[in-house]
Structure 1
């Protein structure tokens, strides 16, 4: 969609593009209208139709004044049902840019099975892709946590307060120098999976691409631990398990100059509390290489119960390492 979207764009879509799609059989756009007032609420339709595969892609948008009313969900169900029954299609595909959790939630509510990622050739970004087949239930019962998470990850990453005046905030460019110094520390290299040697490019990739993308995808969160002056003194992350969405796993790295001050236990306690309350997690896992006593002490201070040793559980620069494992429950 053009940005900014102008009147001429709307006029072209309505008077030329939509009419041509219907005439040529390449698409089927619909207006979604309030039955009582006649006001436009949304647009929903098939943006492409592939008669070779008997497949189509659905697209939709909702006017700001009609959002959070179930308009898009009902519209996509109606269009999909019509596509199967009237056009004889075998599949309806949904796509959205990774991070568009509102669109993803609509698709899930309409019965689409979100099946993976699709590289977007036009701008290099990734997209989510899902499909609906004839006979799939179009009104599945979603766990309330799915709805809450979609709304959470659709917004900005929150800043969390931790004991001692610490803040957990997103990583920023100003953190890069400190991050490089911390990741070059021999103890960091020994006990974590940071690249060795650790270059500034590694820090830039982690802080400016990997960390924000984790939030955008809804896969977890990465935080900078900031002291009372706002300076970076460590990093901490919480990853949602792909196998069990009610299980998370934490990891953390303390700056050498900030160790022994209680910063990491305070940050870990704040992050776990947020994970239980905001993500509805039922269990949070901690793992560390066997022998990493400092990491184990941090976890146990927060209440993690030591559960044992996993053989060859962690990869570190091409080798498998045994891991200690612990768990925390609400």
Structure 2
């Protein structure tokens, strides 16, 4: 099946926004990256645009930015081709700007990875009517999220032959991003070492700080690889469940088709029965008329016989 995929993540701290933007701009080591950017040209510039849109007074726990990820199922992306994918992402960006207001969409970038191209977009959830941050207006609860998915599929996905995604499905990008987050965490730990610490590693006599960073990085990378292995297993289970669901939907469709055919046959049988009843009534009426005719005919014959002179009783000459 060809599905439109839309996912969101709430970012409540400037640090979270910054880390996400660094990943989106590929300013952290990320394999297979070929980004196309729309808007800001760096994470710092995009971060400043976010700050410029934030109101001075806001709640401590307010959502500062909404991260959108937009893509489609791998087979759909492959079938769309380069121009089709660009048109899909352009329509998706237009939908975001109409949904949030153009000024609140501070950045959008397309990652043309070796697997499935996808677009990241960052939106400041500023309610123009009140001048306040109000992520709940767009992402408030399961119903609002479900309606958002339906609206995106109808107004963007359908134009490109894509259907609404499966309710409750987990997007692959979330697993990938978490894995890269662990890898980048290890990278950052190593990057914080001073010159003396790095030199100690080079000569094989690490300082205490370098040794701790090295052990922490190794541990984090191990966790990242273990996490990736678990996610592969989860993906295989998700694929199996998807195929089972697809087969169940096909079975349901076939059952509904058979039910419709049975209903049609039943209707035809009912119509035939009605026609048969009408034919029986016409036959009974015809039999009644025939009986009346025979009775009248017999009576007339009897009357004629009664009027006919009997033989041997004629006049004498």
The TM-score with structure 2 as length reference comes to: 0.20
Higher strand share: 1
Q: Which one scores higher on RCO, CA 8 angstroms, separation ≥ 6? A: 2
Which of structures 1 and 2 has the bigger CA Rg?
2
